[in-house]
């Protein structure tokens, strides 16, 4: 009965939303000024987002056919509104407008990540395809036998802890068996999404995505390459050392020392972060082991207590406590009675007045860092909630991901000791190298992966990569950037991109690459505000109201200004800069160069 009450209530809300939107359009005067038009758009968008957010939350926390239908209906309704409203906005294209008004109109065009064609049947087809693809991932399992079916979270746990070559290979190939059925749907989805992007004036969907950075699409592509080239030397040194250690463990017959690393050996289902290899990579065994996992288990931290730990950090900067509704409505653990998407995410529903996170929290340090990250989204959403709906977003997509990541950089040994998560904050040079290796295995190893996911999609959307070479192009790109290769032969019968959540879920990935750059730039600026003296890696801004004030000023601006202006509020500069990463990891870089002396690096 509860299931149907939820569905009926959602249908009623959707119907009310549709009626209100229709009435608003009917009464809007064709002669309204651009400013009056935007006022109406913001009013309608606020209500549409409220309903879409509610439907989206239901879809991922209550995976049944009914909630998928509701989400598809909400998305279709939004797509129809967006297509119609962008068409209405075209009448202001040739008018002389203030920069603020022109910016808001441009943001309207960019507001949808998946633009739908202005055709009811195609719009319905696209929203259903998007919902189907996301659902196929969310319910995907690898069945080793009829009674042994494993979800992605269970498979990830095995991948993180496993060290048996063949068992890891079975897990790796098994999860990818969920993706081939997505392939045909994805190809059609690309066709329809490109048609929607064309109607908005973009050559393809990739061009539209790259146009959301206050510069031309081509200039942004060059900017992403510039940032990657700043950090590429550090990645190459890390790759060389990791390959050598894996060769020692598995044998050089399995890990050749002059080629790419087999993708299933890096402690992660997608080889995107390598932190779970730390037991094999630890430079100085046992020196200042930050065993937060043991503390969480020994003290039996509940999921809510782990979230409170993260909240306390933000509060120490002068930010407010999370509202009671956050604790009442968030999903902290996997329910026993239904399927959910466990992939961690933060939600700013009802325009940011209803903050939530969705996770299946485990008692690990990795999960704790994810919580600190997700609350960064929530505090950003809460900070800009008073902006008009068109401005409720990050200065650019990388900003949103960078906030929580910046805070995790302040989870130094001193901080962890101060809040009782470790017993000691030893800081010998050997301890520093150990800690930096632990961080680099995640943050530096991630950088090429973060760049290539959307680069592959940009080429798919442009037609440079066609459906008949989806998989080959995927692995060519992964080998070129990451220096990894599939452990077994792959063909176009496979669709390995679909085994990564963000592809079927249509989540742009460049934000994560930019966030890994920006977090160090943000941290350097916050540490300066906090009066930190000394090496950047040793800085924690915990308890610094000065740093909090600088951060809050940037968060409150949302998307109301070009990101260059917003960046300047915090850092004093108007250009993204990866040099802070090099500064932060300077001790590790020296150590890696020493270790790699005499090795044949590269692939």
Contact, 78 vs 11, CB < 8 A?
A: no
512 is an active site residue: yes
Catalytic residue among 237, 311, 401, 561: 401
Query: Is residue 509 within 8 Å of residue 224, measured between CB atoms?
Result: no
Residues whose CB is less than 8 angstroms from the CB of residue 106 and which lie 6 or more positions away in sequence, other chains included: none
Listed in sequence order, the residues at least 6 apart from 265 whose beta carbon sits closer than 8 Å to its beta carbon are: 165, 168, 246, 250, 255, 487
Residues constituting the chain: 603
Q: Which of 344, 417, 485, 505 is catalytic?
A: 344
At residue 262, the 3 state secondary structure works out as strand
- 3-state SS, residue 145: strand
Question: Residues 59, 374, 455, 561: which is the catalytic one?
Answer: 374
Helices 397-409 and 545-557: crossing angle, nearest 10°?
170
Q: What are the backbone angles phi and psi of residue 270, rounded to the nearest 5°?
A: -115, 5
Three-state SS letters, 44-106: HHHHHHHHHHHHHHHHHHCCCHHHHHHHHHHHHHHHHHHHHHHHHHHHHCCCCCCHHHHHHHH
Is 197 an annotated catalytic residue?
A: no
Q: How far apart are CA 585 and CA 308, in angstroms?
A: 30
239 catalytically annotated: no
Catalytic, out of 82, 239, 373, 400: 373
The CA–CA distances, whole Å, from 478 to 66, 244, 517 equal 37, 19, 20
- Token couple for 477: 């790109």
Helix or strand (DSSP H, E) at 150: strand 148-150
Q: Is 374 noted as a catalytic residue in this protein?
A: yes
Residue 353 burial (C-beta neighbours within 10 Å; 0-12, 13-18, 19+): middle
Catalytic hit among 186, 202, 365, 512: 512
Token look-up 């119907």 returns 15
483: left (phi over 0), alpha (psi -120 to 50) or beta: left
Biggest distance spanned by C-alpha atoms of the chain: 75
Active site residue 373: yes
Is 401 a known active-site residue? yes
Q: Which of 199, 343, 459, 528 is catalytic?
A: 343
Q: How many whole angstroms separate alpha carbon 72 and alpha carbon 243?
A: 45
Element (H, E) at 23: helix 2-27
Which residue among the candidates 239, 264, 502, 532 is catalytic per the annotation? 502
502 is catalytic: yes
Q: Which of 241, 377, 400, 537 is catalytic?
A: 377
What is the spatial distance between Cα 70 and Cα 55, in angstroms, rounded to a whole number? 6
DSSP three-state, residue 479: helix
Using only C-alpha atoms, the chain has a radius of gyration, in whole angstroms, of 24
Asked about 537 being catalytic, the answer comes back as: no
- The residues that are catalytic are 343-344, 373-374, 377, 401, 502, 512
């Amino acid at each position: 009965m509860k299931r149907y009450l939820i569905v009926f209530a959602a249908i009623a809300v959707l119907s009310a939303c549709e009626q209100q939107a229709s009435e608003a359009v009917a009464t809007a005067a064709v002669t309204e000024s651009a400013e009056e038009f935007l006022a109406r758009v913001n009013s309608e968008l606020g209500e549409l987002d409220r309903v879409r957010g509610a439907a989206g939350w239901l879809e991922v926390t209550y995976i049944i056919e009914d909630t998928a239908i509701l989400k598809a209906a909400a998305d279709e309704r939004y797509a129809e509104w967006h297509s119609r409203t962008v068409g209405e906005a075209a009448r202001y294209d040739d008018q002389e407008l203030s920069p603020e008004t022109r910016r808001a109109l441009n943001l309207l065009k960019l507001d949808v990540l998946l633009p739908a064609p202005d055709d009811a049947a195609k719009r319905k087809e696209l929203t259903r395809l998007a919902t189907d693809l996301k659902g196929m991932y969310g319910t995907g399992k690898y069945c080793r036998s009829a009674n042994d079916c494993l979800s992605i979270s269970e498979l990830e746990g095995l991948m993180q802890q496993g060290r048996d070559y063949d068992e890891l290979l079975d897990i790796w190939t098994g999860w990818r068996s969920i993706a081939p059925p997505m392939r045909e749907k994805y190809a059609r989805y690309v066709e329809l999404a490109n048609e929607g992007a064309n109607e908005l004036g973009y050559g393809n969907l990739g061009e539209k995505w790259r146009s959301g950075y206050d510069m031309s699409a081509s200039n942004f592509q060059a900017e992403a390459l510039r940032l990657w080239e700043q950090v590429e030397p550090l990645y190459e040194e890390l790759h060389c050392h990791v390959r050598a250690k894996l060769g020692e463990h598995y044998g050089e017959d399995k890990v050749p020392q002059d080629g790419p690393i087999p993708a299933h050996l890096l402690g992660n289902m997608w080889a995107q972060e390598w932190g779970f290899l730390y037991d094999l990579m630890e430079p100085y065994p046992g020196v200042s082991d930050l065993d937060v996992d043991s503390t969480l288990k020994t003290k039996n931290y509940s999921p809510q207590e782990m979230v409170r730990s993260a909240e306390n950090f933000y509060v120490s900067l002068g930010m407010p406590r999370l509202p009671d509704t956050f604790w009442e409505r968030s999903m902290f653990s996997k329910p026993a009675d239904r399927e959910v998407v466990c992939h961690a995410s933060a939600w700013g529903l009802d325009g940011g007045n209803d903050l939530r996170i969705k996770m299946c929290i485990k008692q690990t340090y990795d999960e704790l860092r994810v919580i600190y990250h997700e609350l960064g989204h929530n505090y950003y959403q809460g900070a800009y909630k008073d902006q008009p709906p068109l401005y409720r977003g990050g200065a650019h997509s990388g900003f949103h991901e960078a906030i929580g990541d910046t805070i995790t950089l302040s989870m130094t040994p001193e901080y962890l000791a101060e809040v009782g998560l470790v017993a000691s904050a030893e800081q010998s040079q050997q301890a520093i190298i150990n800690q930096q290796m632990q961080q680099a295995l995640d943050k530096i190893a991630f950088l090429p992966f973060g760049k290539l996911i959307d680069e592959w999609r940009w080429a798919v959307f442009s037609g440079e990569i066609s459906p008949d070479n989806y998989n080959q192009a995927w692995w060519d790109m992964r080998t070129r950037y990451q220096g990894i290769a599939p452990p077994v032969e792959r063909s176009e019968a496979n669709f390995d991109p679909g085994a990564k959540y963000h592809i079927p879920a249509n989540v742009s990935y460049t934000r994560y690459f930019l966030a890994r750059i920006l977090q160090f730039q943000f941290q350097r600026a916050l540490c300066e505000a906090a009066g930190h003296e000394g090496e950047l890696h040793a800085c924690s801004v915990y308890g610094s109201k000065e740093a909090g004030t600088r951060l809050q000023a940037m968060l409150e601006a949302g998307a109301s200004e070009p990101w260059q202006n917003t960046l300047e509020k915090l850092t004093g500069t108007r250009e993204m800069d990866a040099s802070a990463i090099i500064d932060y990891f300077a001790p590790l870089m020296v150590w890696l160069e020493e270790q790699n002396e005499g090795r044949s690096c590269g692939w």
